[in-house]
Amino acid sequence: MQAELSFLDLILGASFLVQLVMVILFILAGTSWWFIFDKWLTLSRAKKDIFIFENEFWNSKNIDNIFNDLKRKQDISGLSQIFIISYEEFLKNSSLEKSEKRINKATEIIISRQEESLENGLSFLSTVASVSPFIGLFGTVWGVMNAFSGLAQVTQVSINAVAPGIAEALIATALGLFAAIPALISYNWSVKSIDAIIRSYENFSSELLITYEELNDQEKTKK
């Protein structure tokens, strides 16, 4: 309890500029934690959706049933959206040769939009991770300058005279790291996860073309 009170006293006893730096860092840390949670939730859901859809799709014996079921849903994304758009293009033409370019173009647009959506908030996390330590360092430097400038008014210099000022200043650096480290970890994890998700989308798109080729060959055989 005493440690908490002393920590609070150090913050309240800091200069106005150092306190302003601390407030900014608290805001950055709080906002980045919101983005961290949002990224974790979004990317985890996307990975889960990929796993579920691929299992259902490749284990299904009737591609038309999957298509009709998905068309009845209001909100679709990821592999479901890629499949619906590409299959619609496939059905529009009698031969795969005519629809292949349109399928590739449509899936590229969808994947690009999905990637843009998944990357939402990454720039903020990157900014917090790179800027927060420097903001904290600025507060520390300013606090140390004030601590040493106060020594000019003291006749007998001791560690007790300068320690509180330095401790107040170092809190700014600690807060900068507190904001930056989780943001950096989340950013790196998110970038790696997004790359894996996009690769899954691209691989599925390529596999769809192979599936459409087989369907097209079956139709030719029937004729």
pLDDT by position in tens, the chain (length 223): 344 446 566 666 667 787 888 899 999 999 999 999 999 999 999 999 999 999 988 888 788 888 888 888 877 888 898 999 888 888 887 666 777 888 888 899 999 999 999 999 999 999 999 999 999 988 888 877 776 676 666 555 555 556 666 777 788 888 999 999 999 999 999 999 999 999 999 999 999 888 888 777 776 666 5
Which token pair is 200? 């899954």
b (16+ CB within 10 A) / e for 113-145: ebeeebeebbebbbebbebbbebbbbbbebbbe
- pTM for the complete prediction? 0.81
How far is residue 159's CA from residue 147's CA, in Å, rounded to a whole number? 11
